[in-house]
Amino acid sequence: MVKNLIFLALFSLILVLSLSDVSSLFSSRSYLKRCLKNCAKAKVSALTCFEKCAPKRVPKEENPQALNDETTNTPAKPVDPVSDNLIWASYRDQLFSFFRRGGSTKGLQLLRKPIESKWDVEKEQLSTICNRIPFWGAEYKYNLKTSVFQEYGKFLNNINVSTTGGSLSAQDEKRLAELKAQVKEIEDRMAQQDEECIARYNALYGSRPNPRYTLEEFKKSRCRYSTMDEFNLITLRNDIFQLNGKTADSYADIKTALKNFNDAETYDWTETFSSSLAKFKSNIQNEVLDPFEIAVAKTALSKAETTTNVEWKWTEVDNNKESKSNSFVSVDGRAQAFSFSTSKDDFRLSIKATSHSVISVTPSTSWFTKSILSKYNDPKYMKNKTLRFFGESGSFPMIVKKLYVLYRPSVSLQLTTEDAQQIKVLATNGKSMSIGPFEIKSKSIKVTPVEGKDNLVNVQFSGIEQPAVVATENDLLP
C-alpha cells in the first residue's frame, strides 16, 4: 500500500511537470487511480502497475479532439461507466435466455471456470462432476466436504424403517434368485455383443477421417440385439417387480433402495444418447454444427439493471449487484471487482462458439431412487429430526440434471483504450485472468481500433479449444 502511494505521488508530480492543461492532468490522474486500484486488487506489484499504467502523453497538435474541445469550449459529456457486476448479471440473463429459449431459468448456474468435457473417453469424469452438490446461488460452486451419494446414503439411513411386515416365501425367494440370474445372463450376452460390435466398427471405420457411420448409427443398423433377448429381459424384470410387490411390508421401497445403495460398487451417472457428449463430438467432426452467439450492449444492460431473478430466489449476497461475487472479471479463479471507464452506451460484449449442446444427465437407477426423497421427506420418518437435507440451507439442496457445453468459444469486447490497457496489464502479470468463464491468454489478445471512435478499441480473444461445460441446470430437491 505504501509503495502504491509513493508511486502515485511521483507519477502525479511527473504529470504536473509534463502536462500543460488542467483537464489533461485530472483525466490522467483519474485513469491512474483506476488502473492502480485494479492492479492492487489483483495483487500486482506497484512498480509493474506504474510501468504498465503510465499514459503516453499526446502532443496537442497531434490530438484533433483536444483542439476541437478547446475551440468549441463544449463541456465534456458526463460518463455513466458500466459496472462489472452489471455485466455479469446481463451475461447471465443472455446466456439463460439462449439456452432456455424463453423457458424457465429455475436452477441454472454459471461457471467461472469451464470444465473441459472428456467423459466420452474418461467415463469416470461424468460421475465426478455430477456427484458434486452445488451451493444455492446463480454461480456454480460446490460443496467440497460431501457429495450426492454421501447425502443420499445419509438420507436413506436416517429413515426409521419398520422391521415388521411380510416377507417372501422360500419358494418365492428361490424363484426371485432364478429370475435375477436369467436377467444377468441376458445382460452379459448383450454386453458381449456390444464389445464385438465396437471391434467391428473400429476395424471398418476406426482409421477413416470421415466414417460413413457414427458408432451409434453402426450399432443400430448392424449390431441389433436379439429381439427375443429384449423381449425376455422386459418379461423377467416385470416378474421380478411382481414378486417384490408380494411383500406386505409398507417400507419395501426404502429397504430395496437401501439394499441397492449398499450393494453398489460405483455411484455412476448416465447421459441420454440423444444428447451425449460422444454424439456432440461426432457431429462436430462431421460439421453438423449448432452455433452459439450472445451479445450484451446497452439494452441488455438496462434490462438487467431493472430486473431481478424472481423464479429462483438466491441469497441476498447473490442478488446484490454491488457484490464482488457477481464480478464479471476473475483473477486466479476468484471474482475480482474491476473499475471500468467504458460507458454503458459504448460497452459491447459478444460471445460466440462454433457449436453448443445441452446434455441431460441422471444418477444410475442401480443405486439412486429419486422418488424416495420426496416420499420420506417428513420428520415423522426421520431418526434424527434435526438434520436438514433440502432447501437453501440444506446439505442436499439440488443435483445436476443438464450440462451446457460450448465448443471453441471466442470473446469480443468494445472498451475504452484505458480499460483495454488495464486488462492487458492483468493478463500479462503471470496470473490467470478470466472474462466471464473464459480465461485470457496474453498471447491470444488482439486489440483493434473502432472505426470513428478514437477512444474505443475491440479486444478479442479465444477460449478453450475443447468442448467445455459453461453452465449447469439443477433439479431442486426433493
pLDDT in tens, 385-428: 999 999 989 999 999 999 999 999 999 999 999 999 888 887 77
Taking residues 179-195, report their average pLDDT: 90
pLDDT of residue 19: 45
pLDDT of residue 229: 85
3-state secondary structure of 21: coil
d(CA 131, CA 364): 11
Do residues 125 and 119 make contact, with C-beta atoms less than 8 angstroms apart? Answer: yes
Do residues 401 and 408 make contact, with C-beta atoms less than 8 angstroms apart? Answer: no
420-466 pLDDT per residue, tens: 988 888 777 766 778 888 888 767 789 999 999 989 999 998 878 89
Q: Hey, what's the torsion of the CAs at 269, 270, 275, 278, to 10 degrees?
A: 100
Beta strands in 22-176 (DSSP E): 108-116
55-70 pLDDT per residue, tens: 544 444 444 444 344 4
CA separation (Å) from 12 to 5, 19, 26, 33, 237? 10, 10, 10, 10, 81
- The closest alpha carbon to 336, from 410, 405, 443, 422, belongs to 422
262 Cβ contact partners less than 8 Å away, ≥ 6 residues apart? none
How far is CA 184 from its chain centroid?
38
Do residues 434 and 112 make contact, with C-beta atoms less than 8 angstroms apart? Answer: yes
The β-bridge relationship of strands 438-440 and 348-363 is unpaired
Residue 452 — left, alpha, or beta (φ > 0 → left; ψ -120 to 50 → alpha)?
A: left
The β-bridge relationship of strands 348-363 and 269-271 is antiparallel
3-state secondary structure of 136: coil
d(CA 379, CA 387): 9
Q: Tell me, what DSSP letter sits at residue 87?
A: H
d(CA 136, CA 410): 29
Do residues 389 and 151 make contact, with C-beta atoms less than 8 angstroms apart? Answer: yes
d(CA 324, CA 139): 12
What would the grid cell of residue 69 be? 474541445
pLDDT of residue 217: 81
pLDDT of residue 214: 81
pLDDT of residue 427: 78
Least confident of 28-37, 171-180, 228-237, 350-359: 28-37
Do residues 279 and 273 make contact, with C-beta atoms less than 8 angstroms apart? Answer: yes
Least confident of 7-11, 104-108, 285-289: 7-11
Task: Read off the amino acid at residue 404.
Answer: Y
Instruction: Quote the pTM value.
Output: 0.68
Q: Hey, what's the torsion of the CAs at 44, 48, 54, 56, to 10 degrees?
A: -130
- Percentages of the chain per state (helix, strand, coil), in multiples of 5: 45, 20, 35
- Beta-bridge partner residues of 271: 361
**Per-chain mean pLDDT for the chain:** 80
Do residues 461 and 440 make contact, with C-beta atoms less than 8 angstroms apart? Answer: yes
pLDDT of residue 438: 85
pLDDT of residue 310: 39
CA atoms within 13 A on the CB side of 86: 23
- pLDDT-derived band at 372 (thresholds 50, 70, 90) equals very high
- The closest alpha carbon to 407, from 33, 4, 114, belongs to 114
DSSP states along 36-61: HHHHHHTT--HHHHHHHHPPPP--GG
Taking residues 233-237, report their average pLDDT: 89
299 Cβ contact partners less than 8 Å away, ≥ 6 residues apart? none
d(CA 304, CA 88): 9
What would the grid cell of residue 372 be? 424416495
Do residues 126 and 119 make contact, with C-beta atoms less than 8 angstroms apart? Answer: yes
pLDDT of residue 312: 43
pLDDT of residue 322: 38
- The closest alpha carbon to 327, from 437, 476, 188, belongs to 437
The β-bridge relationship of strands 468-476 and 433-435 is unpaired
Q: What is the CA radius of gyration of the chain?
A: 29
Taking 60 as the threshold, does the pLDDT of residue 324 lie above it?
no
33 Cβ contact partners less than 8 Å away, ≥ 6 residues apart? 8
Length of the chain: 478
231 Cβ contact partners less than 8 Å away, ≥ 6 residues apart? none
What would the grid cell of residue 401 be? 440434471
